[in-house]
Amino acid sequence: MALHAKAKRAWTSVGFDPRRARNRGGRGLLTTEEWARSPGGVFPMHSLPGGGTRMIAEIAFKA
């Protein structure tokens, strides 16, 4: 039996370029991606300059 957890967060904001953010040396996006993916989860993140940001972390747990 697998249990699923899903967290979704969306911002109506200026947005940002995820590739540039990763290349600036910060660890926030990388750490969150690793946290979600380590147990086999997914972390689709969409953001565009001027287009807002949407992040979803979905993780399956075995019971």
Q: What is the mean pLDDT of each run of 10 residues along the chain (63 residues)?
A: 72 80 78 79 83 81 67
CATH match of 2-62 with 3.30.565.10: yes
Residue-level pLDDT at 1: 60
Query: For residues 41 and 38, what is the distance between their CA atoms, to the nearest angstrom?
Result: 7
Query: For residues 35 and 42, what is the distance between their CA atoms, to the nearest angstrom?
Result: 10
Residue-level pLDDT at 63: 62
| pTM check: above 0.85 | no
Residue 31 makes CB contacts below 8 A (sequence gap 6+) with none
Give the angle subtended at the CA of 23 by the CAs of 33 and 42, to the nearest 5°. 15
Domain boundaries, the chain: 2-62
